[in-house]
Structure 1
Amino acid sequence: MSSLFDAELTQVIDRNIEYPKQIWYGLAIFLFVVGCFQWGSSLHSKFAKYQQQESDEESTSNNHIHYKFSLRRIPFAFINIYRVVAFRWTLEIGQTYTLNIAEIFVTLGYIALLYTYTFINTTSLDGQKADILYWSSRAARVAASQIPLVAALGTKNNIVSLVTGISYDKLNYIHRMMARTCFTLLCVHGASEASSYPYFRLSLNDQWLRSGMTAIAALFALIIVSLRPIRQEAYEVFFYTHFISVLIFLVGAYHHTAEYNASFWIWPSIVIWGLDRFIRMVRLVVFNHSYFGFKSGSGTMDGTTELLSENLVRLRLSRPPHFHWSPGQTAYLIMPSVSTLPFEAHPFTIASFDSSLIQTTVPEDQSNS
């Protein structure tokens, strides 16, 4: 009997270690494919734009236009159809919540991936199906393995945006969805441990167990304040609660997982968060060097505000020479004289065109005259 239990325990431990790795392999492949499509589409758009400019010049010189059908355009037609279906077809939930088809697909796929790996191969060696010994601790391992990715998606400077070309604000929904999915897995882990194992009550005074319970409580508070109605009506409450809850969760999760030699899934999140803050501070100084006294330019950072409506504020300021943007881009602005905290940033949509992108060309016949 003892040898059977030892063999079963070894199998449980091996799967608890291997399955989170397999999840990461799957997610890495998915991100790689998305990145290839995203960057390939971007390169093709630039190449097509260059060809279109040459074609326009030839058409202008010949005073006629040729329309040709090309089989090479068929794949791009299917790509455009996919974009329309994935990003423009939406599902409305209530009056303010909207998800597009791509977000729905990613959400369902991610939940299915995590729960499949949590409950797959849970039959014990003596034939008992869905043995709690197999999936209880595995649920926590799977959730813990996703914490670094959740932390990365919550930062404004993350490798996922670099690989996929998707901006931070669009990835923020994925960040919240993944955090909530991990929370449900942690609830599965905690509830199964509390209800099925007799040593749970005996260990309530142990630091590792209290740390885990504190981490789950902090994550629960974080999920509550991250709900859209609360974020919209009390953003300051969300902002400060988010910061404190994340700190408590990471510290508690680290101490809890260290008991089972799994803290290597947690400490990278702290490194990712610290690295993001460092990069943001460097960018803040670089983009505003005159404000910090690295270059003369008194008054160049001054701005004027105008209340256009109850929910719309227009802010006018001079563009620093080194600052460029794309149409529709959002900028996070810090106004120390107005903000409660000196480095409190708020998003503003840029409503003007970057005039530095305009290139004036002189026709060849005029340049020679």
Structure 2
Amino acid sequence: MADLKMLAARHIQDMSSAATVEYHWGYADRVVPCANDAGSCKYLDVVYAAHDLGMYYTGIIWTTIGGILVIWAIGRHLLRSQPSGVALPNQFAGEEDNKRSSTFQRFTAAAPTYARQYLLPDASRALFGRVMRTQVLTLVTLVGYLTIWSFVGIHYGIWVTPVKKTPGVYNTRTSLGPLADRVGVLAYALTPLSIMLASRESILSLVTGLPYQSFNFLHRWLGYVIFLQSSVHTVGWCVVELRLYQPQPTVGIEWIKQLYMIWGVVAMILLLLIVVLSTPWGVRATGYEVFRKLHYVLAMVYIGACWGHWEQLKVFLIPGLVVWLLDRAIRLGRTALLHYNFLPSGHMGFRAAPADITFFKNQIHGDVVRLDFDHPQDAWAVGQHFYLMFPEGSIWQAHPFTPLSLPVYSADTQRHSYIFRAKGGETQKIAELSAKRTARAIDPQESHEGLIGNARLSVVLQGPYGEHTMRDLASDSNILCIAGGTGITYVLPVLLDIASKPQNRYRKISLVWVIRQRGDIDWVAPELSILKQKCRNLRAGMQIYVTRTAEDHYEPDVPTVSEKAIETPCLPAKDITPVANSTFSSSVSVSSALSVHGVSKSELNLDHTQARPDLKMIVKGFVGSTVRGRTDVFASGPGGMISDVRSIIAGVNRGTDVWKGDERGDVRLTCDDRLEW
């Protein structure tokens, strides 16, 4: 009955002549038969027909999304059941039977290569940021699909009808109203999808195998699409109620005073705030953590306002709320189970992991902290990351970090090792706390790099999350790892996993690590030492590029280092002397942190080049020197580096060669461009 009163206030139906009421899903009930003037009745026919079709179209949209996910899941299963490396024949002439039998194999191998050639590089950086063309193409396809369903099935026309209570005054009824309703319905229908794209415990990741963070771009831009749809809905009805319906301003005032319209205004204001705060400008202005909390709160209140505006479409709002609540509940449940261990008292309960601190002081580029601890849990997959929360800093913030340690599947206790650079906010607070605790644990009169003592920091883990980088790795694929700074944590587990298994003598492996200062090697000295000892394919393939010279130094009386590139050939360890790092004002050798871990810098036997690497030349040279098999490139570093790597990998993919049977033209990229996000 409330619906009928609302429509009566909008001068659409004659309630006094109602004989019966016709139900319409997601809309107000209709009075039948229509006893109004012919123009108004025709207009009502158009309105209700357009809405009913719109509800069918939302079902088609969700059926399409579901169908794509089902096909994707089946395709993943079928591809996974095939051998990881498909041997393609090198000669096809005169072998028609072999050619016919291998056509499908060649197609499945060459098609992704062709796709990478054109879709791997970044799209318009000014508009989309550092986003691959693949994601932009997905967005454009979705927008085009939604555009079609926004306009089809609506009878477009104009009906001029008299206003009963005001002789000589006429309403102008147009298809603008049904169109505005259609885009409004689609905005409601897309709300659950937007929340699914933002979920960390993502069902989309389970189905597609893609990490949850790969959906962030679509989540953000789908939010912009919903805002555009809501704006068209709002502007459309404002034109109708404030201009086309008469007499004014009486009709406009009565319309805006209704409760459902008040909630509609509130919803649009909240949606506008969400959009503004989610832009790069908004995130920088508020800070990422503030943005996250505001985003959660505003989104939930916005859904409540949408419910108040049009309760009949709660069929789309309830799933969105359920998805969000399940995501939060699963997060909390996984964290609780991960830390449900024996307490010092001998009882079971929630216990944070005590991590040993290694502190690397750097006043120019930001201090670096390394955390090491053992935790009883199952092994995670190489490539996955954890969210780390530090109770001594804040229980409301958790930051994602990739463990540089290798998970051991046969062990009950796993070793966790993390490094991160203080960039402000929570990481800066933790770095300062680590510095204080480390200083108390050692001689306070000694100030040097790589400080370590019995200082500890409590850590709460959430996860693991992300992709399994080694799942589809062929046993004979060549491995090129490219890292910048603390991005080494993403590629080291890949190399450590390879080093722990029998090695293919034809496989080529190389590591390219770009750091600012020589002392940065100390962050992961134990892991590098293991690689040099156990991975014979990598012994001549470690290249470390130092990009900063002594001009960055904060102590003017320290000797400078020549800006000329320094190249140290790969000699036996006994022939290499440790290189002193003059970029620190340390009273202790920079090898002190290494010695704490039981290794010396001379054991690493690394190449040092004080310059920025030519990544294009490195990648092309690596791919060109491989003997057989495809090439898998793993990269992690600053956004500029990842953008360059994407373009380079796209350029070295050769679909034609793969079609002819040369797997060396198949170059795949797995990257993580978030350094301590």
2:200 maps to which of 156, 175, 181: 156
Q: Is the 8 A contact 2:341 2:351 kept in 1?
A: yes
CA distance in 2, matches of 1:84, 1:180: 27
1:248 maps to which of 272, 280, 301: 301
**SS in structure 2 of the partner of residue 146 of structure 1:** helix
CA distance in 1, matches of 2:389, 2:267: 31
2:64 maps to which of 21, 26, 45: 26
Displacement of 1:344: 2.3
CA distance in 1, matches of 2:343, 2:236: 54
Are the structure 2 counterparts of residues 237 and 360 from structure 1 closer, same or farther at C-alpha, using a change threshold of 3 Å?
closer
**SS in structure 1 of the partner of residue 357 of structure 2:** strand
CA distance in 1, matches of 2:60, 2:236: 24
Q: Is the 8 A contact 1:333 1:346 kept in 2?
A: yes
Are the structure 2 counterparts of residues 316 and 176 from structure 1 closer, same or farther at C-alpha, using a change threshold of 3 Å?
same
Larger radius of gyration: 2
What corresponds to 1:186 in structure 2? 230
Equivalent residue pairs, number: 341
Are the structure 2 counterparts of residues 204 and 311 from structure 1 closer, same or farther at C-alpha, using a change threshold of 3 Å?
farther
Amino acid corresponding to residue 25 of structure 1 in structure 2: T
Displacement of 1:134: 2.4
**SS in structure 1 of the partner of residue 123 of structure 2:** strand
What corresponds to 2:329 in structure 1? 278
1:89 maps to which of 92, 104, 121: 121
CA distance in 2, matches of 1:250, 1:172: 20
Displacement of 1:332: 1.0
Cα deviation 1:253-288 (Å, max 9, x = unaligned): 111121xx1111112211111111111111001111
**SS in structure 1 of the partner of residue 381 of structure 2:** coil
**SS in structure 1 of the partner of residue 229 of structure 2:** helix
CA distance in 1, matches of 2:342, 2:361: 28
2:215 maps to which of 168, 171, 174: 171
Are the structure 2 counterparts of residues 251 and 305 from structure 1 closer, same or farther at C-alpha, using a change threshold of 3 Å?
farther
Matches within 5 A, 1:140-155: 140-155=184-199
Which piece of structure 1 moves more, 324-333 or 206-215? 324-333
Displacement of 1:219: 1.5
What corresponds to 2:179 in structure 1? 135
**SS in structure 2 of the partner of residue 301 of structure 1:** strand
1:217 maps to which of 258, 266, 269: 269
Are the structure 2 counterparts of residues 135 and 290 from structure 1 closer, same or farther at C-alpha, using a change threshold of 3 Å?
same
Q: Is the 8 A contact 1:123 1:131 kept in 2?
A: yes
What corresponds to 2:18 in structure 1? none
Displacement of 1:9: 3.1
Which piece of structure 1 moves more, 78-87 or 115-124? 78-87
**SS in structure 2 of the partner of residue 316 of structure 1:** strand
1:206 aligns with 2:258: yes
Cα deviation 1:101-142 (Å, max 9, x = unaligned): 2111111011111122112233337799x8213211011001
Amino acid corresponding to residue 289 of structure 1 in structure 2: Y
CA distance in 1, matches of 2:84, 2:376: 29
Displacement of 1:334: 1.3
**SS in structure 1 of the partner of residue 134 of structure 2:** helix
Displacement of 1:207: 2.0
What corresponds to 2:392 in structure 1? 337
CA distance in 2, matches of 1:304, 1:215: 47
Cα deviation 1:176-198 (Å, max 9, x = unaligned): 11111111000000011111224
What corresponds to 1:353 in structure 2? 406
Structure 2: segments with no counterpart, 5+ residues: 1-37, 92-97, 161-173, 246-250, 411-496, 503-677
CA distance in 1, matches of 2:145, 2:305: 26
Displacement of 1:156: 0.8
TM-score scaled by length of structure 1: 0.80
**SS in structure 2 of the partner of residue 332 of structure 1:** strand
CA distance in 2, matches of 1:95, 1:13: 34
Matches within 5 A, 1:69-84: 71=102, 73-84=105-116
Cα deviation 1:21-70 (Å, max 9, x = unaligned): 111122222233333344444444xx426x99xxxxxxxxxxxxx98667
Are the structure 2 counterparts of residues 22 and 110 from structure 1 closer, same or farther at C-alpha, using a change threshold of 3 Å?
same
Cα deviation 1:225-271 (Å, max 9, x = unaligned): 1123443561122122112211220110111121xx11111122111
**SS in structure 2 of the partner of residue 48 of structure 1:** coil
What corresponds to 1:116 in structure 2? 148
Amino acid corresponding to residue 84 of structure 2 in structure 1: A
1:15 maps to which of 46, 53, 62: 53
CA distance in 1, matches of 2:361, 2:118: 34
Cα deviation 1:195-226 (Å, max 9, x = unaligned): 12244542222221111221121121111111
Amino acid corresponding to residue 389 of structure 2 in structure 1: I
Are the structure 2 counterparts of residues 100 and 192 from structure 1 closer, same or farther at C-alpha, using a change threshold of 3 Å?
same
Structure 1: segments with no counterpart, 5+ residues: 53-65, 362-369
Which piece of structure 1 moves more, 16-25 or 352-361? 352-361
CA distance in 1, matches of 2:198, 2:129: 20
CA distance in 2, matches of 1:223, 1:120: 28
CA distance in 2, matches of 1:10, 1:80: 46
Matches within 5 A, 1:99-114: 99-114=131-146
Q: Is the 8 A contact 1:152 1:159 kept in 2?
A: yes
Which piece of structure 1 moves more, 25-34 or 172-181? 25-34
CA distance in 1, matches of 2:255, 2:65: 36
CA distance in 2, matches of 1:38, 1:132: 44
Higher relative contact order, chain-length normalized (CA < 8 Å, sep 6+): 2
Q: Is the 8 A contact 1:287 1:322 kept in 2?
A: yes
**SS in structure 2 of the partner of residue 317 of structure 1:** strand
CA distance in 2, matches of 1:160, 1:346: 22
What corresponds to 1:266 in structure 2? 317
Displacement of 1:320: 2.2
CA distance in 2, matches of 1:292, 1:12: 63
Displacement of 1:322: 1.8
**SS in structure 1 of the partner of residue 400 of structure 2:** strand
CA distance in 2, matches of 1:207, 1:291: 55
Q: Root-mean-square deviation (CA), in Å?
A: 3.3
Amino acid corresponding to residue 345 of structure 1 in structure 2: A
Which piece of structure 1 moves more, 326-335 or 155-164? 326-335
1:48 maps to which of 79, 84, 109: 84
